[in-house]
């Protein structure tokens, strides 16, 4: 599953790539390059929705009337949403209808099991562009202070051949869409049949490159050394 990702492209680059506005321009000053965004720390990443780019917290929190502390704990289990069950689970089924998003990633990490050892790999697009990762989002209102928090999940699907050779236990990968699919994906009015077709899309092996990185990935600092090959 995709629990650690890299987003180091600056938001102005994302704005140009996707030809879209930044919803809250003040957030530009808050951007920190995330060489190693650990989902379990619930970092804020730039996310593309129909209206433009905005920062969202990783780990979807449905808009239920429960304390934030409880919901944040629950969001450790919503970093990813499986494409096969996304319309059935109560945590995700409302968001997939009309709250879909793209998470632009410079890469992500997965583990390969070799002779009982888990070896981390950095996976990145081989065309120097971005992964257009499909996701869903939710707007949660904290019942204590009435603050709104926007959160997201990365959608995963069965791995293609390239990713199966790396993520060789669970054999999962993020849903990565082509550029010409983005408009339909983030359009809240796209018909369910079209979205279901996109949920079944599997990106070609030729899109991916990868290399092994340091085995102490969890302890690695948030800088370029974490994505350096060994």
> Secondary structure of the chain: what % helix, strand, coil (to 5)?
25, 35, 40
Exposure on the CB side of residue 33, measured as CA atoms within 13 A? 14
Q: How many CB atoms lie within 10 A of CB 194?
A: 13
Look at 17-21, 24-28, 148-152, 187-191 and tell me which has the smallest mean pLDDT.
24-28
Give the domain range for residue 198. 4-107+131-157+175-208
The answer to whether 60 and 152 have CB atoms below 8 angstroms apart is yes
Average pLDDT over residues 180-199: 98
CATH number (domain holding residue 85): 3.90.1680.10
The predicted structure's pLDDT at residue 104: 98
Is residue 221 one of the residues assigned to a domain? Answer: no
Q: How much is the mean pLDDT over the chain?
A: 95
Whether 25 shows a pLDDT value over 90: the answer reads no
Is residue 99 one of the residues assigned to a domain? Answer: yes
Whether 218 shows a pLDDT value over 90: the answer reads no
Is residue 226 one of the residues assigned to a domain? Answer: no
Is residue 112 one of the residues assigned to a domain? Answer: no
Is residue 217 one of the residues assigned to a domain? Answer: no
Whether 30 shows a pLDDT value over 90: the answer reads no
Q: How many domains does the chain have?
A: 1
Whether 150 shows a pLDDT value over 80: the answer reads yes
Is residue 139 one of the residues assigned to a domain? Answer: yes
Whether 29 shows a pLDDT value over 90: the answer reads no
Whether 187 shows a pLDDT value over 90: the answer reads yes
32: confidence class by pLDDT, cuts 50, 70, 90: confident
pLDDT tens-digit readout, 95-132: 999 999 999 999 999 999 999 899 999 999 998 799 99
Q: How far apart are CA 78 and CA 211, in angstroms?
A: 27
The b-or-e profile of 136-156 (16+ CB within 10 A means b, else e) is bbbebebeeeeeebbbbbbbb
Is residue 168 one of the residues assigned to a domain? Answer: no
Closest CA to 199 of 229, 220, 224, 177: 177
Is residue 32 one of the residues assigned to a domain? Answer: yes
Whether 31 shows a pLDDT value over 80: the answer reads no
Average pLDDT over residues 200-207: 96
Whether 177 shows a pLDDT value over 90: the answer reads yes
């Amino acid at each position: 599953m995709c629990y650690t990702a890299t987003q180091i492209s600056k938001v102005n680059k994302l704005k140009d790539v996707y030809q879209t506005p930044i919803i809250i321009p003040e957030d530009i000053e808050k951007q920190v390059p995330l060489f190693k965004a650990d989902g379990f720390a619930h970092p804020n990443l730039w996310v593309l929705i129909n209206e433009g780019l905005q920062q969202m917290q990783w780990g979807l929190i449905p808009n239920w009337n429960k304390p934030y502390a409880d919901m944040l704990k629950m969001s450790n289990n919503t970093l990813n949403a499986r494409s096969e069950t996304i319309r059935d689970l109560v945590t995700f089924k409302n968001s997939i209808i009309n709250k879909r998003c793209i998470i632009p990633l410079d890469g992500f990490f997965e583990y390969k099991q070799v002779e009982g050892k888990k070896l981390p790999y950095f996976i990145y697009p081989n065309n120097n562009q971005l992964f257009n990762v499909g996701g869903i989002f939710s707007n949660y209102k904290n019942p204590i202070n009435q603050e709104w928090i926007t959160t997201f999940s990365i959608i995963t699907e069965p791995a293609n051949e390239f990713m199966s050779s790396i993520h060789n236990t669970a054999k999962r990968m993020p849903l990565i869409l082509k550029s010409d699919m983005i408009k339909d994906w983030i359009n809240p009015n796209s018909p369910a049949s079209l979205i279901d077709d996109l949920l079944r899309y599997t990106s070609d092996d030729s899109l991916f490159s990868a290399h092994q990185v340091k085995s102490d990935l969890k302890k690695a600092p948030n800088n370029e050394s974490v994505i350096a090959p060994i």
